[in-house]
Structure 1
Amino acid sequence: PRAAAVAVKEGVLEKRSDGLLQLWKKKRCILTEEGLLLAAEPTAKIKELHFSNMKTVDCVERKGKYVYFTVVMAEGKEIDFRCAQEQGWNAAITLQMVQYKNRQAILAVRSTRTLISVTQ
């Protein structure tokens, strides 16, 4: 089994619903080194937005006390979030995503080098 993910940041983010009304709903969020975990209530099923499926985090705008930003997934799905400016969720998610992608790139290079040294 995989080791439990370490929380880098925890708190509440508001996510825009996919429905017709596009209401903002509070989600309990846990940012880890692997991705963003979202839960509506403490007992609700947790949804994971894994960094391997994430393309970018676009900061859309700062309006009033909120920062609005969009997480763009690899399949093109866009998920809109907002949080209080001082919480800095968009920056924290971006930083963790970049670090994750860098680790994956390093692992890919290492496995290629190992393969080359084995085949020579």
Structure 2
Amino acid sequence: MSFQSKAMRDGLLEKRSSGLLQLWKKKRCVLTDEGLRLHTCKGGGDAPGTAFSSKAKELRFDRMATVDCVEHKRGLVYFTVVMATGKEIDFRCPQDGTAWNAEIALALVRFKNLQAVNHLHVAKNESSLQQN
């Protein structure tokens, strides 16, 4: 399943690997109104000609619980995306400019609010049908 939504932000983040060494790996991240798409860097990541994989890992908002654990250290912002399953995914980004963690958290809240409003409309419609 691929995102068909418009990109709200596109840039580099570092994601901590889940392996034994837990290395930080650069990812090209695309934030949309449905979630976060992570592309693997095929090279240095900072170079102008850096290539990115066409295949992406998708962290969909409907499977996310929260964005938390923000820490500012040595010019970097560290944060964690917590999935509904309890799995935690650690990220870091430069502290300058608009922080990714804030944009992801705001997009997640917007998604959850729209989801709640849609569920409310469905419940009202079902209630109206039962009364008739």
Q: Same fold (TM over 0.5)?
A: yes
Q: Which residue of 2 aligns with 1:8?
A: 8
Which structure: larger Rg? 2
User: Which of the pair is proportionally richer in helix?
Assistant: 1
TM-score, normalised relative to structure 1: 0.94
In structure 2, the gaps of 5 or more residues are 42-51
Q: What is the alpha-carbon root mean square deviation over aligned residues? A: 1.7
CA deviation after TM superposition for structure 1 residue 60, in Å? 2.9
Inter-CA distance 43–78: structure 2 relative to 1 (3 Å threshold): same
d(CA) in 2 for partners of 1:2 and 1:37?
9
d(CA) in 2 for partners of 1:23 and 1:82?
12
Indicate if the aligned counterparts of 1:27 and 1:40 stay in contact, CA closer than 8 A.
yes
d(CA) in 2 for partners of 1:28 and 1:8?
13
CA deviation after TM superposition for structure 1 residue 4, in Å? 1.9
Matched pairs, number: 120
TM-score, normalised relative to structure 2: 0.86
- 3-state DSSP class of the match of 1:82? strand
In structure 1, the gaps of 5 or more residues are none
Q: Which residue of 1 aligns with 2:78?
A: 68
Q: Which residue of 2 aligns with 1:81?
A: 91
